[in-house]
Every structure is written in structure tokens, then in C-alpha cells.
Amino acid sequence: MTNRPGEPIWYELLTDDIGKARGFYAAVFGWTISAPPMTVPGAENYEIIGRPDGGFAGGAMPLTAEMIAGGARPGWLVYFGVADVDASVLKLRELGGGVIMEPFDIPMVGRVALVTDPQGHPFYLMRGASAGTSDVFAEEPGLGRCGWNELMTPDLESSLAFYADLLDLKVNERMDMGPDFGPYCFLDAGEKRLGAAMKGEPAGWRFYFHVADIDAAKAAVEGNGGQVLFGPQDVPGGSRIIIAADPSGAQFGAVGPAKE
């Protein structure tokens, strides 16, 4: 991949009901979740999330009984691009992170590792095999793409130091959220703003995907077996958001333009 190291290059839904996920996310984001045109050895059940514009939003993996027994639960994960997965895993260990799955190759896809930060939040490290550039993340509105990556953590400064050292994600700006929340720390990969981190619960990464209308997204969530946990709420920058959970409990966000 030609993306800058530290940029998100793939998103992945873990679900215990792929059938419900297909209908739910089609209604909310206009996605199509289906088998890829070419089966990857060892990932026969993996499905691809297609955007309305014909691009990709990420992938979907049905949870097996073995995965659930090992502690896996429905949720969303991010793949951060790196130049060298093995070297990055070594550095992650030095920084206090953990390794769930050691580096391994996926034929025709790339080399990946499933890891955690020191607070236990999971994510992937990946070196893609493609010479192209991933566009699953878009700073500006791009329907179906992720538009914001938000980390909630019980130890903000430690988390910021970890991601700065591992992925070169810098904090160049902080916004005061008041005494109850503290600073909202924006995360930049070079000149690209990826999202932000703040102290809070539930801990972990949350991803906000672009929609044309937040109120319509809210109605689609509630009309298709999901739950709106927060919002709609206008936020700085002219956007409006909700935080929701799909029918299996996987949490995500949606972001659209604020109402005039």
C-alpha cells in the first residue's frame, strides 16, 4: 500500500450473525456485504463490504464457536498500515503492547498481525500486498467510508505516547471538553487528521462512517434491529453524529452534515 504508515487501510466487522449484518448495514450505510470475487485460502468465510460508489468499506468476518470461546465478541477493528509488520510488532512489545496473533501472510492480501495497545484495545498492523492506495478512510464526506477514528481510553497520556511512538500519530491540537471530560486530542498522520482520543468509557476504538443524513441513519438503525446509544448530536466542524449498536451489539458511529 502507498498510504502513509499509521493511516487506516481497512476496517473489519466481527459478527455472530452475518445474515442480519447484511440487511442492517445495507439499510444504514447502503453497503453490500458479500463473498469476494476470489476466495483467499484460509479465509473462505470472509466477506467484503462494498460501498454505494463501487469501492470498499472493509470486510466482515463471521465469528466461529472457537473464536467466541477464545473471547472474541461482535465489534469493529481497524488495520493500521505499517512499512514492516514484524519490526512494528517488536516495537509494540517494547512499548507494552500485546500480541493476539503473531505476524502472518494472507495470500494476495499482505502481512498482518492482531495486537493490542497497553490498555488492551485490539487493532491490526498490516503491510498490504497491493501497490495501490486504500481509500476506506476519507477526511471529507465520502458516503460509506470511515470519516473519523475515535479512541476512548482510561489512560489518555499513556495511550497518546504509545500511538505516537508506534505509528507516528501526533497530537497537534487539543480541544477542552470541560472538567467532566478533559481534552479531546486530535490524532494526525502527517497532514491528515484521522480522528481523536479522549479519556472515557467504553474504552476502545470507535469508527464513524459517512452518511448523507443522520436522522435517516438513526431511523434505519432503529428500524432494523439496532440501537442508538447517543445522539443525534451536532459537533464542532459542522457535523452531526450518532453512536449506535448493530443487532449483534457491535458499536459504531455515523457522521453526516449538521442541519442548517
Residue 226 lies in a domain: yes
Residue 134 lies in a domain: no
Both 163 and 64 in one domain: the answer is no
The pLDDT of residue 131: 83
The residue among 246, 49, 68 whose CA lies nearest residue 146 is: 49
Task: Give the β-pairing of 251-257 and 239-245.
Answer: antiparallel
The pLDDT of residue 132: 87
Residue 68 Cα to chain centre, angstroms: 20
The pLDDT of residue 43: 61
Residue 245 lies in a domain: yes
- List the CATH number of the domain containing 113: 3.10.180.10
Domain that holds residue 162: 146-257
Q: In sequence order, what are the beta bridge partners of 96? A: none
The residue among 150, 17, 155, 136 whose CA lies nearest residue 81 is: 136
DSSP of 156-219: HHHHHHHHHHHH--EEEEEEE--TTT-EEEEEEETTEEEEEEEE-SS-EEEEEEE-S-HHHHHH
Count of the separate structural domains present in the chain: 2
Q: Would you give per-residue pLDDT tens digits along the chain (260 residues)?
A: 689 999 999 999 999 999 999 999 999 999 999 987 666 555 668 999 999 999 999 999 999 888 888 888 999 999 999 999 999 999 999 999 999 999 999 888 899 999 999 999 999 999 999 888 999 999 788 899 999 999 999 999 999 999 999 999 999 999 998 888 899 999 999 999 999 999 988 899 999 999 999 999 999 999 999 999 999 999 988 999 999 999 999 999 999 999 87
Cell triple for 121: 484495545
Residue 1 lies in a domain: no
Both 13 and 97 in one domain: the answer is yes
The pLDDT of residue 37: 62
pLDDT tens profile 30-60? 999 998 766 655 566 899 999 999 999 999 9
Q: Coil, strand, or helix at residue 102? A: strand
Which residues 6+ apart lie within 8 Å of 216 measured at CB? none
Both 12 and 54 in one domain: the answer is yes
Residue 201 lies in a domain: yes
Beta strands in 68-121 (DSSP E): 75-81, 98-106, 110-116
The pLDDT of residue 42: 56
